[in-house]
Structure 1
Amino acid sequence: MGVLDKITGILPGISEPKTHLSFKSRLKWTGIILLLFLILGQISLYGISPVSKERFQFFELVLGSSIGSLMTLGIGPIVTASIILQLLVGSKILPWDLKTPEGKRKFQGMQKLAVIFFCIFEAYAYVSFGAISPSSNDSGLFIFLIAQLAFGGFLVLLMDEVISKWGIGSGVSLFIAANVTTTIFVRAFNPLTPPGETIPAGILPQFVALLGLGEVFQAFAALLPLIATIIVFLMVVYIQAIKVEIPLAFGSIRGFSRRWPLNLIYTSNIPVILIAALLANLQLLGNLSAKTVTEAGTRCGLFGCFDTNGAAVSGIALFFNPPVTLPVQIFFITIMIVVFLAAFLAFYFKYQRVYRVIFASIIAGVALAFVISMLTVGLPTGEEGLRILSYMLILTGGSVIFSIFWVSTSGMDARSVAEQIEGMGMQIPGFRRDPRIVEEVLQRYIPTITILSGLFIGVLASVADFTGALGTGTGILLTVMIIYNLYENIATRYVEDMHPSLRKFFG
């Protein structure tokens, strides 16, 4: 036993269940942990001064955090540790074979150790850089704040383990979905009026109030984020259903067959979670390192300058954020409506060459967006166009890179899938039973679909962000995919344990 095994062996963790857990039991544990996560997000840290949350809004959504509470770090340490280990293993700096039990054990042990390290490191960074400020200059309070933050981050790690082993799905994903869903609900229905304002904060109450004042155009402009949310939701559900199915047959039983699905979004939402978390961490680092105050009241630092609300106004940090202005919103919402309608009609009429319809609808959508924007609020400015292009390149390029790394490190490559098929006693009809032949067939699809998966999900996430959707486009994209994957997980693994009425729902 190596030093790593000895260290990871003494770390606290959650043991696997010793007996089979029913669907009801798993659902109960999942519900308890989600409720606990939301409650902990409302418990304020002891000894902090008031916190301005506006500059951490994207960070909170993507990393499932709640600034100023025990859940301030959210899933940040888990995702940061995962990104670094993915890169180290993918580049062979850590020569671990994740296809073997020993390699998986080393990876999981190192990941837990890295998460604990980042809990302490990020807690120290938050307090020392001023994101969480102690209410006094007492050094004891400074250390106690760091301890509270690190403890909260470690609790998230344990809660993630409980859901992974005793519940349904992934805790990290569910925490993101819970945060985004809460944000969408509050922003859509909040009837309260902010101090100094006369219009309610919620989208729907705002719409009703503006209509009552006779401001028809402004009322419909207020509805744009809600319209964008619905369009993004429908687009993600449509793309999730696109797949390639490889026919398989049992080698020892004649007449029985099944299909092995390879979804277009093969790597699911993982690449977007990783690149969005990386961007959120970079934004946070730039925000916290901005100390020099200019005459205009902005703070400047490593990645540029930030205003009093924490929004980037210049420098590299400006390109880490999507421009969300009315011209940009109308432009991209128009494109998404046209593309979705074209894709839906192609599906409804069973048109075979869907890709032609998609490309044609994108061109038509851009042309229509130009016309509508020019006739209403004007086109996006040159600076906004440059920010749109750079943000799309960052999110799409990062998604493709993390998609490739994820496939190679999570057992989704052609060889691993071929071994799974061989282990089930199945083969591809017309070929002899040999995992090398199955791997050769899968090699035609998986590398291509891996790149396409990262490309599609990156483009969709960036375009969704430009629409100004509630909970951010990336947040909605992640939430819809998390819920969809959870539905598929339940339908394939737990349908036999369900009540008959629930079984009908899951099909």
Structure 2
Amino acid sequence: MSLKDSLEPIFNKLPAVASPEGHVHFKNKLMWTLGILVLYFALANVPLFGLSSDSIDLFESYRAFFAGASGSLMLLGIGPIVTASIVLQLLVGADVIKLDMSDPSDQAFFQGAQKFMVFVMIILEALPQIAGGYIQPDQALASTLGISIGAITFIIFIQICIGGLLVLFMDEVVSKWGIGSGVGLFIVAGVSQQIVTGLFNWATDSSGLPTGLFPKWIYIVQNVGADYLFSGDGITFMLVRGGILALISTVMIFLFVVYVESTRIEIPLAHSAVRGARGKFPVKLIYASVLPMILVRALQANIQMIGLLLSSKGITFLGEFSGSKPINGLMYYLAPIHSPYDWIPSLVRETFTSYGAPVPAIWQIVLHVFVDATFLIVGGIIFALFWIETTGMGAKPTAQKIFNSGMQIPGFRRNIGSIEKVMIRYIPKVTVIGGAFIGLLTLIASLLGTLGSTSGTGLLLAVSIVYRLYEDIASEQMMEMHPMIRSFFGQE
């Protein structure tokens, strides 16, 4: 008996959200999606019982694309789902696990394996944070309740695991009963909240300036002289600290992503049985969407977590940390770029001086940017290729869908092989170009910074996901009006 045959019965018994037996009406899908969104926001505001205020969030810098909220039931966010996807895609891509993703049984096995891996990752991401002392129990509460610190720690661990499971099943509900994916929905929710906070928050930062853009401008107008604002230092101050660069970057990313999402190659189709019935199959420039960027950043986040946990135990050969920020060694170069404070020399000097750490040399900063660029561009290509193969978007599954819908490519014989040959001309090449392009765009966005400190990656993901969600809604409405179109998408 093969490993697949041994594990398949176990995967089949894993708890799952039931799939709808028939077509789900568009209004019901919309209600399920909105309901899960409200539930997500509610759970993100439920604090972990027994958690000390001295706790440190290891993924604070990655909240824009890990979703969730520090100190809440949503502490892990989508981290376990994304990490499980990374591990499986690498194993399948390297042929360690041999699966044919065009085979429905292999697809079902992959999905079962991914769910099982999520369960494992929930534990593996929660335990190190507790064992490393980053998630700390409230000693005062323990003494008040008359129980041990270990009991409070165990209660916190159980809550974190429950939160991770809730995220997994909420994602399933959206995928099966709603519109789009839960992972994308949670990212958009988190980024949107950060942007609103970045515009209107009156709380002050360490420099005494309000965090929100509009309160910050009001404060500057009232307290800073015009002669300084129009000087060289004043212009730099307004661009970086005043948030003008972040505002420009945010608007540019929004417009550019919408433009790029609409860029596509359209392959003509004709119906084999209905004369005159024609259509087009669009191959977008960002064919694999921007979700592979989550996998790249998640890989970096997990590498950083390993370095941070080792550093907390006094093992510093990979680098030392100040809080959750790497300040030297290999971890410094592997850390993602989040804002101008990570690469503009004067701002880097200011940041590291506040940490009381040696300031990196210019060549070290340049190498840091180069390593992050390599991660994003090369990683974007690799994960984009893995993504289309594991989600049924490759040339062969796409050709099968077109053939099953009764469509064919004009000028070619009506068989799967002919359609697949045409798809092979476009899909792999566009996927590589799109993966590299979205990696480059993510790098530029990260270098410039964004409103609300969402990070360039987070904003890029949010804009692209919202655009795709808009297309999904339009598609759902079209299928409601024209039920025959559902057959092309393999829906009942």
1:119 aligns with 2:122: yes
Matched, 1:162 2:173: yes
Q: How does 1:198-277 map to 2 (within 5 A)?
A: 198-212=208-222, 213-214=224-225, 215-216=228-229, 217=235, 218-221=237-240, 222=242, 223-277=244-298
Residues 343-422 of structure 1: matches in 2 within 5 Å?
381-422=362-403
1:310 and 1:2 map into 2 onto residues whose CA distance is: 43
Please tell me whether the aligned partners of residues 102 and 396 of structure 2 are also in contact (alpha carbons under 8 angstroms): no
> Could you list the per-position Cα deviations for residues 1-21 of structure 1 after superposition, in whole angstroms to 9, with x for gaps in the alignment?
944333233322210123432
Percent identity, please: 39
Task: Specify the alignment match of 2:488 in structure 1.
Answer: none
Partners of 2:69 and 2:196 in 1: CA distance = 16
Structure 2 equivalent of residue 448 of structure 1: 429
Compare 89-98 and 453-462 and name the one that shifted more. 89-98
**Contact residue 57 and residue 135 of structure 2 kept, 8 A:** no
Q: CA deviation at 1:164?
A: 0.7
SS at the partner of 1:192? coil
What is the CA–CA distance in structure 2 between the aligned matches of 1:321 and 1:11, rounded to whole Å?
35
Most deviating of 106-115 and 157-166: 106-115
Name the counterpart of 1:325. Answer: 340
1:333 aligns to what? Answer: none
Shift in Å, 1:310: 2.4
Inter-partner Cα distance in structure 1 for 2:362 and 2:212: 28
Q: 8 Å contact 1:64–1:74 — kept in the other structure?
A: yes
Q: What is the distance in 1 between the residues matched to 2:318 and 2:73?
A: 28
Specify the alignment match of 1:494 in structure 2. 477
Alignment length (residue pairs): 442
How does 1:43-58 map onto structure 2 within 5 Å?
43-51=46-54, 56-58=59-61
Q: Does 1:312 pair with 2:323?
A: no
* 2:480 counterpart of 1:469: no
Change in CA separation of 1:92 and 1:328 when aligned onto 2, cut-off 3 Å: closer
Matches within 5 A, 1:290-309: 290-291=311-312, 301=316, 303-307=318-322, 309=323
Separation in 1, partners of 2:338, 2:204: 26
Deviation at 1:211, TM superposition (A): 2.4
Give the aligned residue type for 1:263. K
> What 5-or-longer segments of structure 1 have no aligned partner?
294-299, 331-379, 499-507
Match of 1:31 in 2: 34
Gapped runs of 5+ residues in structure 2?
Answer: 140-147, 230-234, 346-360, 482-492
Give 4+ residue runs of structure 1 displaced > 6 Å after superposition.
none
* Cα RMSD (Å): 2.4
1:408–1:323 Cα change, 3 Å: closer
Q: CA deviation at 1:302?
A: 5.4
Counterpart secondary structure, 1:443: helix
Quick check: 2:36–2:170 contact (8 Å CA) kept in 1? Answer: yes
Superposed CA deviations along residues 215-256 of structure 1, whole A, max 9, x for unmatched, are 523334412212211111111111111111111111122222
Match of 2:23 in 1: 20
TM-score under structure 2 length normalisation: 0.84
The question of 1:439 aligning with 2:439 is answered no
Cα deviation, residue 150, structure 1: 0.9
Q: Secondary structure at the match of 2:91?
A: helix
Deviations 1:132-167 (A, max 9, x none): 112246222222221111111011001001111111
Residues 249-277 of structure 1: CA deviation (Å, up to 9, x unaligned): 11122222111100010100121011111
1:250–1:256 Cα contact (<8 Å) kept: yes
Say if 1:62 and 1:280, in contact at 8 Å, map to a contact too: no
Quote the offset at 1:497 in angstroms: 4.6
2:409 counterpart of 1:428: yes
Give yes or no for contact 2:336–2:372 (8 Å, CA) kept in 1.
yes
2:321–2:328 contact (8 Å) kept in structure 1: yes
Q: In the alignment, is the contact (CA less than 8 A) between 2:380 and 2:436 conserved in 1?
A: yes
Specify the alignment match of 2:302 in structure 1. 281
Q: Distance in 2 between matches of 1:437 and 1:20?
A: 32
Q: Any conservation in 2 of the 1:413–1:446 contact (CA below 8 Å)?
A: yes
Correspondence 1:67 to 2:86: no
CA contact (8 A) 1:464 1:473 kept: yes
Deviation at 1:193, TM superposition (A): 2.9
Shift of 1:328: 5.4
Instruction: Please name the residue that 1:355 is paired with.
Output: none
Deviation at 1:209, TM superposition (A): 1.4
Residue among 478, 483, 491 paired with 2:466: 483
Per-residue CA shift, 1:53-102, capped at 9, x if unaligned? 67633222221121211111111111111111111222222222222221
What letter corresponds to residue 90 of structure 1 in structure 2? G
Task: Single out whichever of 279-288 and 33-42 deviates more from structure 2.
Answer: 279-288
Is the CA contact 1:96–1:103 (under 8 Å) kept in the aligned structure 2?
yes
